[in-house]
Structure 1
Amino acid sequence: MKIIKFRAENFQKLKVVEITPDDNVVTIAGKCEQGKTTILDAIHAALGGGKMPEQPIRTGEKKASVVVDLGEMIVTRTFTPSGTALKIENKDGFKASKPQDLLDKIVGKLAFDPLEFARSDSKKQVEMLLSVVDLQVDPAKLQKISGVVVDKVDENPLTTLNNVYAEVMENRKLTNRQLDSAKKVLASLPEVSEIKAVSVSELVAEKDKLQKVIRSNNDKRADIEKQQQFLAEKEKQRDNVAKEIEELEKQLAAKREQLTIMTQVVIKTNQELGRMQADVAKLIDPDLTAINTKIANADKTNKQAQQYIDRQAKQAELDKYQAESDDYTKKLKSITDYKAEIVSKTKFPVPGLDFANGGVTYEKLPFKQASGSQTLKVSTAIGMALNPKLRVMLIDGAESLDSKQMAIISEMASSEDYQLWLTRVSEDEKVGIYIEGGEIKK
């Protein structure tokens, strides 16, 4: 849908101007302050809705009107001191009951100036490009690959992607700080072999047990010594008695009886001594060298065992942080890859467009670095994408475009079947539709 006829009467600087376009490019030329831009303003006022001009009526007149014939419908907007009225009808007599609502659905972003995209900042360029492309972000998939809870996708899908990426990046930064700390602690610990800790109390108890055995054995040895002394004494007594028998025959009977008794005692004592000696011969004194060495080295052993445990714990902590850091790195790559996948499936107005670092890129470079021709081509293509129904674009001040740039937008308007209305300051009355004093000069 394009403008097939335009008429404005008493609108701002215009007296009566009627234009019937016969080409894709409608050039409105003239000197400054003659009403060229007013024609574009009139199209805005008729079709755009929203805020109206403060003084739409030409000075000295009581009423103004703008009529735009779009082929399928005719839009008429009138202005009086009391306000403005809008009427939409077609050639069959149909009249819209809610003309502005109908117009809003058709017009879209008619007022888009192709050069506005190039003049906008990065944030605005992203918003404009997002309004013409369908960037689909699956929140469930994004949450799965990032580990970040994604309840919904923002109106600007790039904001969601960037926020998730930033959160994963912050998580990785925190983990990396913990990882660096763990590395420093681990590096400060000595290298030790694995060794089991010992219980000093258990070792002392074991030593006490062994010493008790020794004491018992020594007691038995002492008993033998006592028995031997006792035996020696009795033997001496026996010998004395024998001598006394020889010497004292008179006391023989008594002495023999005493001898018999002592002999029996000697026999029994000797037997007991033999049994005790046999038992003692079997005794083995435990060696205290090993247990004493263990007790002496217990502190050193336990210190080494604790060092091993501490180092293993720090190694485990380091491995944990390293694994977390690696996982965040993988998630960041997954988000980047997912964003690239989304962009690759997105149909852009011009091949080579993309989103990166919070802005728009063209041919992998920031759009601000594009050449003048590339800038104009991309901006115009986006302007056309913003106006799919009413295929009209407006450029004020086209004299700033060189011949190459004019050729580019003219070719695009022709190939895409868009209508381009532009103004140009010129004193050559043969250039386009020449305006002078608010009228078309023949």
Structure 2
Amino acid sequence: MGLVRRALTSRPVVGLAGGAALLALSACGTPQGADKDPKADPSEAAASTSATAKADPTTPVADPAHAVAPPGPFDGKQYGDDLLLVSQDSLSEDDLATITGVTVRGKKGVAAYTQLSYGQFSVENKLFNIAAVDPGDYRRFTGNGSATFQEQWDRIAGGEVAIPKTLEKDLVPDSEGYLAVDEEKIHIGALFPGGVDGVDAVVNTKWGQALGLPEDNAVLINTGLSSPQVVRKKIENAFGKDRFSISALDIVAQSGIDPGTYQQAIPVGAFSDAVGVFRYTPIGGGRIAPDPAWVKAHIVTEVVPILGSVTCNKYLMPQLKAALAEIVTSKLADKIHPGEYAGCYYPRFIAGSTQLSNHSFGLALDLNVPGNQRGTVGQMDRVVVAIFKKWGFAWGGDWAYTDPMHFELARIVNPG
């Protein structure tokens, strides 16, 4: 059979080695490719698999436009995932050399590393982490069950996305098996166990470029025999605590977040202009403390029709005002109840989780709360909903697990 483009057939998930699972492609054959050495020595650059995959009838490729060369058979070399360092911009060669050259008691503090492009995307008011990786290199840091799951890495190289089995219900694909990442759709090729904590979706470097992820702005680090906390401290001493977000992944695995440490979100797509880089620190009780400079630059309090004074992201305000003004002129103002408005900007994690919502950025608002609880059809007037959609908002009533009180910015619309 020849190459398969986007017309893929969704089939039942089947079990594979290590408990991993795969969504089957409508193609046959076994991917072939040259294996490569990992970055076991930080001074040595690993070979890249970012070259465009050639049309080979023996290699199943889901999306040739976003394919890279397949990684080839796994050679068994594996490393632990101890630290994840994220910068808002691409790391310079000097920065990388300083990070990977850290020593602890005269020995290398970084035993192995791999670079990735890292950011966040939003699905149903939850922010998820996405990494664009070199499949052959990154697999070495993902644990035995995932690293040895050959078809997963071939699928990623072929232009598909892999997600953890644990997020199967959160990252809901459409009827054809595609995951919406901003305005792009990427076919889900694999569901995997384990993986790297702090990474919710994995794509190849071609997709990273298409999504606008900052290129090579993150480093996944194995500290070998050195303490991850000591290595992190050394890096912070070299650059300052606020230069990078550095998470200890053993702590993330236990609690979902590294408490008290500087964090940053780098949304892709429609939110990139409205959010930029969102810096914050978890402070306990589900709360976060955003960088005051970010708040000053993005959050404003203004008077809008119907609701009166609201505090939201300044990029949201023109569209919110336009939507509410049209609701007024359509004589539907009585369909929105100011006394049941539950706010727009509140910086905290989603209740019971360590995930940010779009409320953290001031890009969502909750209306008519009592009659529009989660999991219900809700009582929101559907003409009001249509007006909000016209002005660039998504409605929570359309979600798999409905949230009909919720409206969030989905695209930028210029009111003129």
TM superposition score category, shorter chain reference: under 0.3
* Bigger relative CO (Cα 8 Å, ≥ 6 apart): 1
Normalised to the residue count of structure 2, the TM-score between the two structures is: 0.21
TM score, norm. by length of structure 1: 0.20
Which structure carries more strand by proportion? Answer: 2
Larger radius of gyration: 1
